[in-house]
Amino acid sequence: MKQVSPDSGCRVTIVSIYNMENTSIRYFIPILRQAGHTVQVVYFQDYYVNDAVSHTRTQEDMFIDVIKGFNPDIVAFSVISSTFFPVTRDLTELVTEKIGALTIWGGVHAMVNPDQGIEIADCVCLGEGEYPLLDLANAIARGESHDAIPNLWVKTPDGIRKNPVRPMIENLAELPLPDYSDDNKYYIKDKVYTGDPFKEFNWQYFVHASRGCPLSCSYCMNSVLKPIFGSGRLRKRPVESVVAELEYVRETLPLVGSIWFIDEAFLTNDDWIDEFVQLYPKRVGLPFGISNIPGFIKAKHLTKLKKAGLFEVDMGIQSGSQKVRYEIFNRRVSTEDILNAAQAVHECGIDLKVDLIFDNPYETEEDKQELFELLMKMQPPFEFCIFSLTWFPGVPLTQRALADGIITEEQLEDRAGKAKEQWAITMDFPRSRDEQFWISICMLTGKPWFPRPLIRWLSTKKIVREKPGILQPIIRVNTLIRWILKGIPVLLKGQVPWTLVRKRWRFMLKAVK
């Protein structure tokens, strides 16, 4: 391992894999710099939806050249998704071989699979990483042992030392504003780009107003993270902290035309919402969307938020069968909650988007029929985010499917990497004819100009079930109409760039092909 001068601070390279947004690591940068450490950030490729391209030897060489020029003491890898485990492994091994810096993994996949990570990296961080990475940099700079730092698993001459996880950060306002400067940042794709890549491609800013989730869905990494953190308790940032960040974003990222709150449950606190609707319109003023669990969606909140700029709500249905939601997904969301939430959003005149999961081997034909009936009860228009069930290693549903013999180890996402091409569902991906039928017929239910009686009539026709592809031209025309009515005004207002339009168009054509 390299020798470090105790007077010069530590030199830390942070690597983001296939994620140029990666809001999480942007909080690490100012924390380290304020403590006197020098930070380099390398964004290795990017991923939109189903468009990840495998890395090449040339990109590996560019990666090593960029890092060698910085001569880091620590190289920290943000391993957010199991999908990109293989590339993270390859790059880590290259750093160890060619640079010799201490390597550390953090992020969701590293936390869920620390035994796998510690075989490759020198350290693995469990829990929140802001202060463990700072402690590590401080120890390396001072020439002190880092073996006992809380949250870290560390390779030592005596084996793996597994330190306890420190308490969660209670006051999230103590964290600095995320860093979007160009200072010492690189983006590796077809060549090496300098500066923060998000500045050139941003159109919508994703922000967390809280940490944690009230649910423990069996397919989701949160179900594994809660025992690590010791709690899944929702921690809300003060409104002032959130608004200050968004003011900074407006000044720093002028291309941003809208905000999306990616909290697991945004609508949970009346007082917080009351303060938010007072401050946000005056100091930020951009249209915004929210994600939320159906049971928390209430008309009284939506009415206030719409006046503040709320234009869309995304809520997770996942399965139309309450039995599947409860017994398979461990998602305690009732059918009544879903229908009430959808009605509240519709009555407030806010756009609705619903999340669904298909390719679930535990769902029966009756379960899918329940989904169809549920969607038919909802008032259109509404849009869909339709996902293919992904077998993330370590989560309860994956463990259950392995035990039941439904999947093999080779289908785990850190090996299969299915999400690189099928995170969101497209119709060119191999799946059963029945599954294609249910996906297609459900997609029609959100179209306001497509008569409900005709949708139900189509759902009963044998030829449609045998040849579900005949529905695709109908879906394509309806999607095109939606694009024209909704997309063009947003484009003309400057809320999305042409680069995103092209990406979305390519994905749409693939999705309904």
What is the sign of the dihedral through the CA atoms of 442, 446, 450 and 455? positive
pLDDT bracket for residue 52 (50, 70, 90): confident
Across the range 68-80, mean pLDDT stands at 97
Q: What is the pLDDT of residue 495?
A: 57
CB atoms within 10 A of CB 452: 12
> pLDDT, tens digit, for every residue of 305-338?
999 999 999 999 999 999 999 999 999 999 999 9
Q: What is the pLDDT of residue 98?
A: 97
Q: What is the pLDDT of residue 142?
A: 96
- Please say if the pLDDT value at position 508 is more than 60: no
Q: What is the pLDDT of residue 509?
A: 55
Does domain 11-174 bear CATH number 3.40.605.10? no
The answer to whether the beta carbons of residues 348 and 306 sit under 8 Å apart is yes
> pLDDT, tens digit, for every residue of 211-270?
999 999 999 999 999 888 877 688 999 999 999 999 999 999 988 989 999 998 899 899
pLDDT bracket for residue 478 (50, 70, 90): confident
Q: Give the whole-angstrom CA distance, residue 236 versus residue 208.
A: 9
Q: What is the pLDDT of residue 313?
A: 97
> pLDDT, tens digit, for every residue of 404-455?
999 999 999 999 999 999 999 988 889 999 999 999 999 999 988 889 999 9
pLDDT bracket for residue 494 (50, 70, 90): low
Q: Give the whole-angstrom CA distance, residue 457 versus residue 110.
A: 49
Q: What is the pLDDT of residue 499?
A: 60
Indicate the domain borders of the chain. 11-174
Joined together, the tokens standing for residue 230 give 């010791």
Q: Give the whole-angstrom CA distance, residue 113 versus residue 120.
A: 12
Following DSSP, what letter does each residue of 63-130 receive, concatenated? HHHHHHHH--SEEEEE---GGGHHHHHHHHHHHHHHT--EEEEESHHHHH-HHHHHTTSSEEE-S--H
